[in-house]
Amino acid sequence: MRQLSHESYPQTSQVPPWSDIDTVMFDMDGTLLDLHFDNYFWQDFLPVAWARARGVDEQTASSKLHAMYSELRGTLNWYCLDFWTEQLDMDITRLKHEVKHKIAIRPNVVDLLVKLRQLHKRILLITNAHPDSLNLKLEHTGIGQYFDNTISSHLLHKAKENHGFWTALKELEHYDPQRTLLIDDSLPVLRQARSEGIRHLFGIYQPDSQQDPQLCEEFPQIVDFEHIMPAHHPDAAGDRDGSHE
């Protein structure tokens, strides 16, 4: 991981008010998992594979792909493996399997999930990842066992940064926006969730361990999940967390 200079470190390190929170929603890529896998796949691996399949040089393939990425970013198609499989005439799911050894869980994720389970929080994985990509990552990392529900935005036919997503989500999974925490590395997603009433919102300081951190003053940012770990609850192994009831 890149060393952080003192000046670039976030000024404040907030902790979510855990006793005011019943439901914790996690994004997957860049939040629970290192975004390096996705950046490597789309920026480096796919352009080379596509250039070979097409018999064109890598520079041409890369420019063409990046033009398509710019056009589609923020739409559901951007996240849709079926769309890319058809557009590029390549089996994207199979190609992802070829580099799955690069999928990595970010530090202290499992410790936090275990702790939240002990506190009887409802834990949801809410991702823009296509169901095939979601399954690949859950199989490879084993983190699926910690969630009460895992939902791909493809089920709702909207991306998380699209208007109405968080309201529509209630049809699949009831939650109280006032008592919900969303942790997501995407600024447009956090803004959309805020506009639809989700109260507790945290970003991620360095979603890709191989790239520079993203500084954001609009939402508190998590540097390491260890910093937001809830204190041990004395009744954790017994009854429901009664601290807010």
Instruction: Find the part of the chain contacting Mg ion (CB under 5 A) among 19-27, 61-69, 175-183, 224-232.
Output: 19-27
Q: Does 29 contact Mg ion by CB under 5 A?
A: yes
Closest CA to 196 of 32, 33, 25: 25
Instruction: Find the part of the chain contacting Mg ion (CB under 5 A) among 1-9, 27-35, 75-83, 190-198.
Output: 27-35
Of 133 and 180, CB closest to Mg ion: 133
* Closest distance to Mg ion from the beta carbon of 233 (Å): 29
Of 16 and 188, CB closest to Mg ion: 188
Instruction: Find the part of the chain contacting Mg ion (CB under 5 A) among 55-63, 166-174, 177-185, 195-203.
Output: 177-185
Q: Give the pair of three-digit tokens for residue 47.
A: 């352009």
Q: Give the pair of three-digit tokens for residue 234.
A: 């004395």
Return d(Cα 18, Cα 158) in angstroms, integer: 29
Indicate which single residue of 27, 161, 208, 241 sits in contact with Mg ion (rule: CB under 5 A). 27
Q: Does 241 contact Mg ion by CB under 5 A?
A: no
Residue with tokens 């929603």: 25
* Closest distance to Mg ion from the beta carbon of 47 (Å): 21
Q: Which residues are catalytic?
A: 20
Helix (H, G, I), strand (E, B) or coil at 139: helix
Indicate which single residue of 25, 30, 80, 166 sits in contact with Mg ion (rule: CB under 5 A). 30
Return d(Cα 20, Cα 243) in angstroms, integer: 9
DSSP state of 5: P
Identify how many contiguous H helices and E strands the chain contains and give both numbers: 9, 6
Residues 206-235 that bind Mg ion (CB under 5 A): none
Instruction: Find the part of the chain contacting Mg ion (CB under 5 A) among 23-31, 106-114, 154-162, 228-236.
Output: 23-31
Helix (H, G, I), strand (E, B) or coil at 140: helix
- Residue number of the CB atom closest to Mg ion: 30
Helix (H, G, I), strand (E, B) or coil at 216: coil
Helix (H, G, I), strand (E, B) or coil at 46: helix
Q: Does 38 contact Mg ion by CB under 5 A?
A: no
Return d(Cα 173, Cα 22) in angstroms, integer: 13
Residues that bind Mg ion (CB under 5 A): 27, 29-30, 185
